[in-house]
Amino acid sequence: MKFPENIQIPLDKWTDQAMDWVLMSFGGFFDALGSAILKFMLVVEKFFLWVPWPVLIIAVGLLAWRVMGKWWSGLMMAGMLFFMGMLGNWEMAMRTLSLVTSAVIISLAIGIPLGILMASSDMFEKILKPLLDGMQTMPSFVYLIPALMLFGLGKVPALFATIVYAVPPVIRLTNVGIREVSPSVVEAAHAFGSSYWQILFKVQLPLARPTIMVGVNQTTMMALAMVVIASMIGAKGLGFEVLLAINRIEIGRGFEAGLCIVLMAIIIDRITYAMASGKRA
């Protein structure tokens, strides 16, 4: 009892035709967009490579101490960063950090406004939710194919794939945070004659800040989770070291790079979580 072949839908062919049409119609636009994104990424990468390592380690330690509230927490975060340098992966770690930072900045610039629109319109929420479901459940390798077709090999398609994978949490949690603001508070602001923008920026966003910061935390962690996959299409950094180790079956090299990714994830997660929760621990 095989499924009848004469009623199958050639979705793969339709998708290929749609991509060909996009490339023919908007190739120049994507070239210009890729060039602008690449310039932005190079600025971020050059900044992290330019900052002296002692300055960055001290800055991370002080930031962790400030947001987590304990000096030994800051010392631990700084020690993890120092240990990454001792393993000889400082430059690779900075390249990875620049990719994650670039992806998070663009994801927040896209995600927070979309989350605000979702909270403002039930219809827009119903339209966007299935798209977010698809972005979160689609295998991340699938994002590499259109990224390669639109931008070619290099940093830009890696950033594009990372953004697609990482942006849904901040959209969802911005929407949830604003919708969870007490209606009585919003009504009181209306009663005092506040405009839509005043209510948004002075009432809803400040009250929704903890939830939005959790979205920032999740977006950052998901961007970091893409570094190994992004290395397959030209992104340099710790993920590329893991990929080389896999190809050459170099266990030690892969373990070092993987350990650095884990340490970076711990540092970013602890600091952003402390900023999101407002609790010092």
Q: Determine the angle formed by the axes of helices 251-277 and 90-120, rounding to 10 degrees.
A: 40
Residue 5 placed within a domain:
no
Residue 1 placed within a domain:
no
Longest pairwise C-alpha distance within the chain: 69
Residue 173 placed within a domain:
yes
pLDDT band, residue 278 (cuts 50/70/90):
low
Inform me whether the pLDDT recorded for 134 exceeds 70. yes
Closest residue by Cα to residue 77 from 267, 260, 256: 267
Q: How many domains does the chain have?
A: 1
Identify the pLDDT of residue 23: 82
Greater confidence (227 vs 241) lies with 241
What residue has token string 């800051």?
74
Inform me whether the pLDDT recorded for 280 exceeds 80. no
> Residues 163-185: what's their mean pLDDT?
89
pLDDT band, residue 236 (cuts 50/70/90):
confident
> Residues 162-168: what's their mean pLDDT?
87
Identify the pLDDT of residue 152: 75
Residue 132 placed within a domain:
yes
Residue 6 placed within a domain:
no
Inform me whether the pLDDT recorded for 39 exceeds 70. yes
pLDDT in tens, 55-74: 999 999 898 888 888 888 88
Residue 8 placed within a domain:
no
Of 24-28, 205-209, 234-238, the poorest mean pLDDT is in 234-238
Inform me whether the pLDDT recorded for 144 exceeds 80. no
0.85 exceeded by the pTM? no
Domain with residue 266: its CATH number is: 1.10.3720.10
> Residues 205-222: what's their mean pLDDT?
87
Residue 177 placed within a domain:
yes
pLDDT in tens, 87-126: 888 888 888 888 888 889 999 999 999 999 998 888 888 9
What CA–CA distance (Å, rounded) separates 14 from 20? 10
pLDDT in tens, 12-36: 888 888 888 888 888 788 888 888 8
Closest residue by Cα to residue 87 from 277, 259, 272: 259
Identify the pLDDT of residue 281: 40
Q: Domain containing 137: what range?
A: 13-277
pLDDT in tens, 240-261: 888 888 888 888 888 888 888 8
What residue has token string 């827009």?
124
CB 92 within 8 A of CB 238: yes
The tally of CA atoms less than 13 A away on the side-chain side of residue 78 is 20
pLDDT, averaged across the chain: 84
Residue 3 placed within a domain:
no
